[in-house]
């Protein structure tokens, strides 16, 4: 097999790619709303950082699906949220929510990486590596 031969996605790769796209695309909108609603500058910076990385993941997955000839899942949009609504949750809850979301995301991605075959897992799943030294303030 040469490098020019195309290897199609397996069913599990496509399933995790599609599901991951849907989850992360939905997340953009509540991350946006929560970023607008928090009063704490550090939490707002954290949400902005996560929102940026999440958007990169969605764009990568969208390109992967498109390049493979699959339709892009119809998800959520700006019309589904009211960015200027009053806050429903405390800043403490928003921080906890982000923590739990990160834990669930790590679980999802670790399962997906375990099932990816044939290609670089980072390329297939659209995962953006964030080095430990990455600074949120630099984003």
The encoded tokens of residue 136 equal: 């949120």
Express each pLDDT in 96-121 by its tens digit: 999 999 999 888 878 877 776 555 55
pLDDT higher than threshold 60 for residue 122:
no
**How far is the C-alpha of 39 from the C-alpha of 87, rounded, in Å?**
9
Q: What share of the chain is helix, strand, coil (3-state, %, to 5)?
A: 65, 0, 35
Express each pLDDT in 58-69 by its tens digit: 998 899 889 889
Share of the chain above pLDDT 70, in %: 78
DSSP 79-94: GG--TTSPP-S-HHHH
CA dist 5 to 10, 70, 118, Å? Answer: 15, 19, 12
Compute the mean pLDDT over every residue in the chain, rounded to the nearest whole number: 81
* Residues 64 and 72: beta-carbon distance below 8 Å: no
Q: Residue 1: what pLDDT?
A: 45
């Amino acid at each position: 097999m040469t490098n020019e031969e195309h290897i199609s996605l397996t069913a599990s790769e496509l399933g995790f790619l599609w599901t991951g796209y849907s989850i992360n695309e939905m997340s953009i909108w509540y991350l946006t709303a929560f970023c607008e609603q928090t009063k704490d500058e550090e939490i707002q910076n954290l949400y902005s950082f996560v929102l940026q990385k999440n958007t990169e993941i969605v764009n990568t997955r969208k390109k992967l699906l498109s390049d493979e000839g699959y339709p892009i899942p119809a998800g959520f949009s700006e019309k589904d949220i009211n960015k200027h609504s009053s806050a429903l949750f405390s800043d403490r809850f928003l921080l906890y929510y982000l923590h739990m979301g990160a834990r669930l995301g790590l679980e999802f991605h670790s399962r997906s990486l375990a099932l990816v075959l044939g290609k670089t897992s980072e390329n297939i799943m659209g995962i953006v590596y964030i080095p430990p030294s990455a600074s949120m303030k630099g984003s």
